[in-house]
Amino acid sequence: MKLIKSEGIAHHSYFIEASGRAIVVDPRRDVDIYLKMAETAGLDITHIFETHRNEDYVIGSLELAQATGAEIFHGKDLEFAYGTPVSEGNTFKFGNAELEILETPGHTPESISLVLRDKNVSDDAQMVFAGDLIFAGETGRIDLLGEDKKREMAGLLYDSIFHKIMPLGDETILCPAHGAGSVCGADIREQDYTTLGYEKNTNLQLQCTSRDEFIQMKVAEELYTPPYFRKMEFFNQNGAPLLGRLPYLRALTPKILKKMKNNGAQIVDVRKPTSFGGDTYLAV
């Protein structure tokens, strides 16, 4: 299993190799990275899973399905314009590997988690891909349906975490859909992977002594909701326009840039901070 991190939005997607095939969980829209990984490993991408209707980025499921012919799967409790709904207990077998679907609402009504087992070794859970249900040091936000639904969603989140995820076992590796810096959690730790046992002992939000205490804690949260969330939700439920492949961007010469600047163009540096941090002037 490989983690693919999207810088800037702290999004995590996952590439799982199993019995000559590849499974992608929550793909980003620029899907070339998955195609290259599959080509390098000599694998066919056959299954794409969405843990929920994402809010903070345009998901790349349709883009990847167009390029590979893979089937898309997502939770049944939201009417998507594409893909195949799955339900609690559905299993997908890939040789000795098995993915089991858990319905884990709370962050969103249709949220699902994927439990990975190596049946050749044990029936115990090896990993769980929990989407935005639980993170390293945090739990998922419950405010996306509005203030009047926060208490209901907080209760669903509690039930999903404590009745379905935590019973998988302390040694189970937790693979969340976001890392530190994401707007999908208030204070996610800088930790790509964690375990359910580690979270049980260190995640303060899991220290609540009752369901009511957990609900009160979540309802009291006040998180920033970026204005682009609604557009992302629309695209991810109804399908974003297909790009085919992201265009190759040709570099501009300093001469052309200087001419554009003189004509009133605004130059925006979109490199990573580590790349432009040492620059003291623009050479145009």
Within 13 A of 96's CA, how many CA atoms are on the CB side?
8
What is the C-alpha separation between 118 and 129, in angstroms, rounded? Answer: 15
> Mean pLDDT across the chain, nearest whole number?
91
Least confident interval from 68-72, 192-196, 229-233, 259-263: 259-263
| Confidence category of residue 145, pLDDT binned at 50, 70, 90 | very high
- At 123, list the tokens: 């029936």
The pLDDT of residue 249 is above 70:
no
**Mean pLDDT across 13-37:** 95
Q: Judge whether residue 283 has pLDDT over 60.
A: no
Residue 257 has pLDDT above 90, yes or no: no
Burial class of residue 156 in the structure, from the number of CB atoms within 10 Å of its CB (0-12 exposed, 13-18 middle, 19+ buried)? buried
pLDDT band at residue 181 under the 50/70/90 scheme: confident
**Percentage of the chain with pLDDT > 70?**
93
CA–CA gap between residue 132 and residue 55 (Å, rounded): 10
What confidence tier does 89 reach under pLDDT thresholds 50, 70, 90?
very high
The number of angstroms, rounded, from the C-alpha of 255 to the middle of its chain's C-alpha atoms is 41
Q: Identify the band that residue 182 occupies on the pLDDT scale cut at 50, 70 and 90.
A: confident
User: For residue 280, is pLDDT > 80?
Assistant: no
Alpha-carbon gap, residue 34 to 23, rounded angstroms: 10
pLDDT at 269: 75
Q: Is residue 222's pLDDT more than 50?
A: yes
Start-end of H helices in 45-191: 61-68, 150-160
β-bridge mates for residue 134, sequence order: 139
Confidence at residue 267, expressed as pLDDT on a 0 to 100 scale: 80
What Cα–Cα distance (Å) separates residue 52 from each residue in 111, 154, 197, 219?
A: 5, 16, 24, 21
